[in-house]
Structure 1
């Protein structure tokens, strides 16, 4: 699932994710659309911008997707200082601008976490969430 209010960037992400073997279940530009897609599709992974059409709602979306759907979340943001302390349950963040290689690596990292609840080596330009610095045997599934 992609939550991004810049249409061209959302389309680029959709292309890169599709080429990486992901099934895109939907693209949202705001909180309401994101919750509708999540309720209908129950996504495994969501790439979420912090600032959307309806303001700085990305962290709220992330928190709800993690809590209600067990979704693995990665923030995409040009303003990393706006990511809340604790990352709202997200795995980490990638700063904009980013390249295709970074997105592919982040997807692979997230897949490993989703499938095995283990952490691989964090990709370059990926800021790991502080809660993931807990020893791996203490990470409980959501």
Structure 2
């Protein structure tokens, strides 16, 4: 008997093939993919309905560079942990809009599995271990605890 999924994940990605590949890898990593969105409106509708633990968010979507706005709202309104997926890491806002970090495209299955494990530890235990290879950690997670300014 397999264990029930421990992370509810939303994929916010406008490349359908990449979203399907992510869904497969996340499922194999013990996650329950609760929805896929290609734009801001769909992402917020799914998040309000499903309350995901983790969101994999592309920076550039069908409705423009809305990934950072989506990330900020998912973090602040739903307490969702966010990981950016992007071919343009320079477009991630300073402070990462509350996201845990970013994975540059193209990425491989091993990287996504390692990022899910990293996010799982953060979500369940609020601990930040060694970041996975090819994962750029958000600056707010690298600041010593006493130095983090309240939001």
Fold-level match, TM-score > 0.5? yes
Match 1:127 to one of 123, 133, 136: 136
What is the number of residues matched between the two proteins?
141
TM-score, scaled relative to structure 1: 0.96
Q: Which residue of 2 aligns with 1:74?
A: 83
8 A contact 1:118–1:136 mirrored in 2: no
Answer 1 or 2: which has greater strand percent: 2
In 2, the alpha carbon distance for the partners of 1:95 and 1:62 equals 16
Counterpart of 2:41 (choices 19, 25, 32) is 32
- The 3-state SS of whatever aligns with 2:44 is helix
- 1:7-18 equivalences under 5 Å are 7-18=16-27
Segments of 5+ residues of structure 2 without an aligned counterpart are 1-9
Q: CA RMSD in A?
A: 1.5
1:90 lines up with 2:99 in the alignment? yes
The structure that has the greater radius of gyration is 2
**Is residue 19 of structure 2 the alignment partner of residue 20 of structure 1?**
no
The more displaced of 127-136 and 117-126 is 127-136
**Structure 1 residue 133: deviation in Å?**
1.0
Residue in 2 aligned with 1:109? 118
Match of 2:53 among 44, 66, 91: 44
